[in-house]
Amino acid sequence: MKTKHNLFKNYKRGIQKILEECLFSALALNLKRMIKVVNWYQKDGEKEY
């Protein structure tokens, strides 16, 4: 997970800024997962009709 989602190297200094960077990376990962699930449900819904 670290290498694929920009967590292998910290680009900022300070604990607060590193925490923000990790939270934004986790937010981006969760958004990608939600989009994938929504698209899957939309495709699945089209097959039923």
Give the domain ranges of the chain: 1-49
pLDDT at position 49, please? 45
- Model's pTM, two decimal places? 0.63
Q: Looking at residue 7, what DSSP letter applies? A: -
pLDDT confidence of residue 33:
92
Q: For residue range 1-49, what is the model confidence (pLDDT) as tens digits?
A: 556 666 666 666 888 888 888 888 889 889 999 999 998 888 776 655 4
Distance CA 35, CA 49 (A): 22
- What's residue 48's pLDDT? 53
Q: Which two tokens stand for residue 21?
A: 């960077």
Return d(Cα 37, Cα 4) in angstroms, integer. 19
Predicted pLDDT at 46: 63
3-class SS shares of the chain: helix, strand, coil, % to 5? 70, 0, 30
